[in-house]
Structure 1
């Protein structure tokens, strides 16, 4: 690294710290949040219920004993069917002593890569699990997808959240202990991605994880639509009423990725492109795209349906800022005769005290319009970052 590059890198890093310390507070940023973001991302294994659990267990036992796993506890939903088909495990955390290196800690928390399950039934020869940040699984859980729902994952690649959402949709097809309840409504899942390479990866993953008959009969399908285009709601349409549930996991600044790339490059005497191109105003460009995506999602969801907006950013402009802009836009349309508006929060805006208490204790902290999971949360879970806000589309009563 030349002196000029070194000076540029130092100035950019200083600007980065100054920007986020102003948002999160000097003490928290430097002593708690930044160090937590700089650590390796902790992963959980989301079990694929459409493959035999025995294959998942065999896969895990190649790296650790099953007793070393803990099941992730998600907050209980107060409304609707409380059955949760989404099952996630993580390695139990140990208190690192002074001699333990970050590499040692990573080895103790690592999970095996998914593999193809073994089964006498061809339909159950699917991938065993998906490794993800448990905050992503939390978002899928909170959308509260039920059998019979029509669901849209607007920014779906590489497919982890779509596969997590699918775990609750077709319980009668589970490889182990399938639901005995009669199947009255099948439900549909539409997973969308614009970029061609990511669209292919998404499609391949859906085929690798979900029963073939769901794809053969178009109960599950991948779409290749530009969700920022004004015509997107028509291209994504599933019928005259719209989707019951929509997930908008929007592309974002991904600050944790920038931090990891920067620290890795610095060790090698380089400057990471992710940090080199970062600017304090970078979020403004992304926020415009995020507003467009969220508006498309709201146009796609039915009246009375719910949408969950999420990012893995710690930048308020991409989180509460986007929700605020969309709410203002919707209210302007209402004044012009628009037929729907948006309620923010759980329970169609009325709130859910038990759920929110559990969230605050175990997972996240409140923001103006939603919640954010951060790796320095007092619970010690080390999950996130992940912001989310629950929105319900309701009819305007005049």
Structure 2
């Protein structure tokens, strides 16, 4: 083969090798770019998530809370505010469903560092009600509603259980949950005891549907005959069913501190704050109705998820001062047991509990008071 031709072919082979090398280099560059882009996207998503979380805090509500609670709670409000404003440190309890108990779930909880809310020897905690908590922030995976399939557990704020424990339902009693949605306290009541009747009421239409779905998710059909669900105005139940119940739970509509603090609509938040003063009047009316619905000797528990004194102790004090047929019930035994896992406000009466959120004990806010009809 003539030398010029061999030389030309060699050059062509070299060019082809260079072409293949160039394509490989472009491929490596593209991979690196994709990695950089993916990493950048993750960083942007993380930054966006953090920014979104920061934007969720409603400054109008926060300013209002700062003014009110720094006055009512003093220096302790600073630490409470930090917990309420930081969802990353919130904790969630896991209430096991005895109607579909899973030892696998219970073992998994223990492996992940969860423990029963009270020691097994506690006199005010029935072991049929198994509620697990962890000192670490985080949330156990939620279970979706499936028709015909009972859930194995319910996620809730552990402080909610205190209202059920305070009610001390006995087997066979007639119980009214006056403002029952979304249904966590009704579910806890049925884990705690076997009432002869549990009347779950919720006035709001959408929340009533939510309540029904919750009950269907946790209670077997064979026991649904013990439960009635109504959509009445709680303020009228006392007149409709006078002295019809042994126990009444009034988990009243309130200025929910956690959700209000993260209200994304400033106008809605401003409207809520303007209407806040009217809440105590509604709460008083609900309590008066609850007293009418109680049989003599029966007891009621009033609870809210706010720190507001106007909606808590002021409401109960007004009822005690104006209703001669009710008296306060000492809850110091429950408070003593609860103080091991919850941070309780000092300076409250013996018939009251106020759970203050704290790092490592980020439960509440939850106010609980107990009264008895004479």
Is TM > 0.5 for Structure 1 vs Structure 2?
yes
**C-alpha spacing 1:78/1:49, structure 2 compared with 1 (3 Å):** closer
Unaligned runs of 5+ in 2: 1-54
Match of 2:363 in 1: 383
| Alignment map for 1:95-134 (pairs within 5 Å) | 109-115=138-144, 125-134=149-158
Match of 1:195 in 2: 204
Give the deviation of 1:15 after TM superposition. 4.1
Match of 1:322 in 2: 315
What secondary structure, in the 3-state scheme, does the structure 2 residue paired with 1:288 have? helix
1:213 and 2:222 correspond: yes
**C-alpha spacing 1:75/1:315, structure 2 compared with 1 (3 Å):** farther
| Alignment map for 1:352-367 (pairs within 5 Å) | 352=332, 354-363=333-342, 364-366=344-346, 367=348
Report the Cα distance in structure 1 between the residues aligned to 2:61 and 2:206, rounded to whole angstroms.
31
Report the Cα distance in structure 1 between the residues aligned to 2:310 and 2:199, rounded to whole angstroms.
28
**C-alpha spacing 1:362/1:89, structure 2 compared with 1 (3 Å):** closer
Match of 1:37 in 2: 84
Over the aligned positions, Cα root-mean-square deviation in angstroms equals 2.9
Report the Cα distance in structure 2 between the residues aligned to 1:37 and 1:46, rounded to whole angstroms.
22
Give the deviation of 1:203 after TM superposition. 1.4
After superposition, give the CA deviation of every residue in 1:323-374 in whole Å (9 maximum; x if it has no partner).
Answer: 112122213xxxxxxxxx111123xxxx65x433333454323524511001
1:277 and 2:271 correspond: yes
- Conserved in 2, the CA contact under 8 Å of 1:250 and 1:290? yes
- Conserved in 2, the CA contact under 8 Å of 1:48 and 1:167? yes
- Conserved in 1, the CA contact under 8 Å of 2:239 and 2:292? no
- Conserved in 1, the CA contact under 8 Å of 2:164 and 2:189? yes
Give the deviation of 1:136 after TM superposition. 0.3
**TM, length-normalised to structure 1:** 0.71
**C-alpha spacing 1:44/1:362, structure 2 compared with 1 (3 Å):** closer
1:166 and 2:190 correspond: yes
**C-alpha spacing 1:327/1:134, structure 2 compared with 1 (3 Å):** same
**C-alpha spacing 1:76/1:24, structure 2 compared with 1 (3 Å):** farther
Match of 1:342 in 2: 326
Report the Cα distance in structure 2 between the residues aligned to 1:160 and 1:15, rounded to whole angstroms.
29
What secondary structure, in the 3-state scheme, does the structure 2 residue paired with 1:152 have? strand
Name the one with the larger helix percent.
2
Matched residue pairs, number? 313
Report the Cα distance in structure 2 between the residues aligned to 1:74 and 1:311, rounded to whole angstroms.
26
**C-alpha spacing 1:76/1:342, structure 2 compared with 1 (3 Å):** farther
**TM, length-normalised to structure 2:** 0.75
1:87 and 2:161 correspond: no
Unaligned runs of 5+ in 1: 1-5, 94-104, 171-185, 266-270, 332-340
**C-alpha spacing 1:309/1:15, structure 2 compared with 1 (3 Å):** closer
Give the deviation of 1:315 after TM superposition. 0.6
385-394 or 360-369, which deviates more:
360-369
